[in-house]
Amino acid sequence: MSAPNKSFDPVEVEALKPEEIARMRDEALAAFAAAGDLAALHEAKIAHTSDRSPLALANREIGALPPQAKVDVGKRVGGARGEVSRALKARQAELEAERDARVLVEEAVDVTLPTDRFTPGARHPLTTLSERIEDVFVAMGYEVAEGPEVEAEWFNFDALNFTPDHPARAMQDTFFVRATDGGGAEQDAERDAETGIVLRTHTSPVQVRSMLDREPPIYVVCPGRVYRTDELDATHTPVFHQVELLAIDEGLTMADLKGTLDHMVGALFGAGVRTRLRPNYFPFTEPSAEMDMQCYVCHGESVGNPDRPCRTCSSEGWIELGGCGMVNPRVLVACGIDPQKYSGFAFGFGIERMLMFRHNVEDMRDMVEGDVRFTRPFGMEI
């Protein structure tokens, strides 16, 4: 290796001449300025700042220079590279800002444009009403109990004190799955074999199942689907829903029944809506009553007042809810409960009817046809 050439004049090295370095710098600056987008700038960056760019190559030459020239040329090349790098950074920022502004405009979403409606599914109002009723009782400590829809006739009628020839069996217009005397192939369960199988005509058999399954005190609310051989029309449907309530404890009286009913209608229709009981007959309660609630819309003010007709109660002031009473001791005995020690009350009513007067639904068929135009106004309760 030869000794450093102390008398070297940098002007003599072509690539390191000041005007050459200035030209390299200017070309780089011009290329950056000319780059119309980030891709073009990237190309220019490779051409003018990579290891093989003219300025990088010039920089490499510096090492071979004599010490006194190194400083001079080093400053010049370094200065040029610094300028190029700053220009690149500035142009990069400029083009990025331009791109961002363009993206904002080009990719803007016009939120006022009409869209395809996406309607989320909703639960049927019969379900939500039934659950709301359950909630009222669950809050009071009741338990939700359910039973089968295909039910042994024994649970549906016999245990509830309907005698075999009781007109109520015909009155209930039952769907028989297997008639009483039919025998049937599968005679496994003794009760089924003896009594026939029906589609339950009410939720009252769940009372029987609840009493057989539990020790008193018993507090159950029993929602469910029931069946009767009715034609589907504006006020009847062969499949409908009921909610049944049963309380068995020591010392329960009609007053507890009345207080429970008042609390329920207050919770569902507004505090202060009263109930009244009218004597009636059910085989499974004694005494039995028909329960009415005061009309929650007119509060009775439409009665005898033709100027203020009320379509919710047909201007009668009261709305019939369902049946109720004190559990018949014969039912308690059939369910293995000592009537000397325990008493109970029960009531049952139809959900479709309640939905009709609660929401002014005029035709029961709307509830079973599955048209979302009916269910949608009830909202998206979950």
CA distances from 338 to 333, 341, 347 (A): 6, 6, 20
CB nearer to ligand DAH: pick between 81 and 202 = 202
Q: Is 279 exposed, middle or buried (0-12, 13-18, 19+ CB in 10 A)?
A: exposed
Q: How far is the CB of 280 from ligand DAH (least distance, A)?
A: 8
195 interacts with ligand DAH by CB under 6 A: no
CB nearer to ligand DAH: pick between 147 and 325 = 325
CB nearer to ligand DAH: pick between 10 and 147 = 147
342 interacts with ligand DAH by CB under 6 A: no
CB nearer to ligand DAH: pick between 31 and 346 = 346
- CA gap 35, 39 in Å, rounded: 8
| Run of H or E including 205 | helix 205-213
CB 14 within 8 A of CB 24: no
Q: What's 16's DSSP letter?
A: G
> DSSP labels for 149-199?
SEEEHHHHTGGGT--TT-HHHHHTT--EEE-TT---S---SHHHHHH-EEE
95 interacts with ligand DAH by CB under 6 A: no
SS3 143: strand
296 interacts with ligand DAH by CB under 6 A: no
294 interacts with ligand DAH by CB under 6 A: no
Q: Which of 158, 244, 292, 352 binds ligand DAH (CB under 6 A)?
A: 244
Phi, psi of 363 (to 5 degrees): -125, 120
Q: Which of 81, 220, 348, 351 binds ligand DAH (CB under 6 A)?
A: 348
Task: Please enumerate in sequence order all residues whose Cβ is within 8 A of that of 353, keeping only pairs 6 or more positions apart, or say none.
Answer: none
Q: How far is the CB of 323 from ligand DAH (least distance, A)?
A: 3
282 interacts with ligand DAH by CB under 6 A: yes
Q: How far is the CB of 317 from ligand DAH (least distance, A)?
A: 22
| Interface mask toward ligand DAH for 146-185; x: CB under 6 A | ----------------------------------------
Q: Which residues bind ligand DAH (CB under 6 A)?
A: 202, 204, 244, 282, 285, 322-325, 346-348
